[in-house]
């Protein structure tokens, strides 16, 4: 594959996957038109980097379909001056897109391998890469104006909600086998959630609801 091939694939992604699914924020479309998604997937999977599907990254993780990232960032209505945390950023694609949209981006990743790949792919972008458990976020860098949880979760721990200062959290809600794009607004220590649309997304570890006892 050549750079020209990837440029053509990126344009096709914008036309067929983003614009047709409600990704209509000009800034988000421009950012996703510019970030080379192929740099954030394993070399043997670059040919499918722009497919309308999750791309396995190893470590049991995957890069979410382009529409998932594009739609969540569109619904966030970012202004450009925000401090943002990306949780479960994997190799850093969504963090790279956000780096073109906001003032400051920190990403947290629990896999040392993926975090290392993210540092290499994000060199020069200004994104801070932090290694640590996903379900506690990164309070030391907060409070944040916006948090993107880059995958499907059953619940958001209070420790993460406490890191948003009257802002929003974008995530994929996993509920009994169904995943839906969602935007949550934090007020005080509570989260009010709006469901946007059904969408397939990779599940993040560490965010499962406790299972109740049953006979």
Please check whether residue 153 is in contact with residue 207, taking contact to mean a CB–CB distance below 8 angstroms. Answer: yes
| DSSP 8-state secondary structure symbol assigned to residue 197 | E
Q: Is residue 213 part of a domain?
A: no
Does residue 167 sit within a domain?
A: yes
The pLDDT tens digits for 148-159 are 999 999 999 999
Extract the residue ranges of the chain whose pLDDT is less than 50.
Answer: 214-215
Domain extent for 62? 3-198
pLDDT per residue as tens digits for the range 75-106: 999 999 999 999 999 999 999 999 999 999 99
**pTM of whole model > 0.85?**
yes
44/153 Cα distance (integer angstroms): 28
Q: What's the CA gap between 23 and 14, in Å, rounded?
A: 9
DSSP characters for 158-181? HHHHTTEEEEEEEEEEEETTEEEE
The pLDDT of residue 46: 93
Number of independent structural domains in the chain: 1
Edge-to-edge strand list for the sheet holding 83-87:
128-131, 104-109, 83-87, 144-153, 164-175, 178-187, 190-198
206 and 135 in contact (C-beta within 8 Å)? yes
Spell out a b/e string for 17-30, using b for 16 or more CB atoms within 10 Å of the CB, else e.
Answer: bbeebebebeebbe
The whole-number pLDDT of residue 111 equals 96
The CATH number for 97's domain is 3.40.50.150
Q: Give the pLDDT confidence score for residue 215 in this predicted structure.
A: 47
Instruction: Tell me the sheet residues that pair with 109.
Output: 131
Helices (H) and strands (E) in the chain, counts: 6, 9
How high is the pLDDT of residue 122? 97
């Amino acid at each position: 594959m050549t750079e020209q091939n990837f440029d053509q694939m990126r344009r096709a992604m914008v036309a067929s996957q983003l614009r047709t699914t409600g990704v209509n924020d000009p800034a988000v479309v421009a950012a996703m038109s510019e970030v080379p998604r192929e740099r954030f997937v394993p070399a043997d999977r670059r040919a499918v980097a722009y497919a309308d599907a999750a791309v396995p990254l190893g470590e049991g993780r995957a890069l979410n379909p382009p529409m998932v990232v594009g739609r969540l960032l569109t619904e966030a209505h970012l202004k450009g001056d925000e401090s943002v945390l990306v949780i479960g950023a994997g190799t850093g694609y969504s963090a790279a897109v956000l780096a073109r949209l906001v003032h400051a981006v920190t990403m947290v990743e629990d896999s040392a391998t993926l975090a290392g790949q993210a540092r290499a792919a994000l060199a020069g972008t200004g994104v801070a890469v932090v290694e640590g458990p996903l379900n506690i976020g990164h309070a030391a860098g907060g409070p944040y104006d916006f948090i993107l949880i880059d995958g499907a979760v059953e619940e958001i721990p209070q420790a993460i909600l406490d890191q948003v200062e009257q802002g929003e959290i974008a995530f994929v809600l996993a509920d009994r086998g169904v995943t839906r794009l969602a935007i949550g607004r934090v007020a005080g220590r509570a989260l009010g959630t709006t469901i946007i649309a059904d969408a397939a997304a990779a599940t993040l570890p560490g965010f499962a609801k406790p299972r109740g006892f049953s006979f």
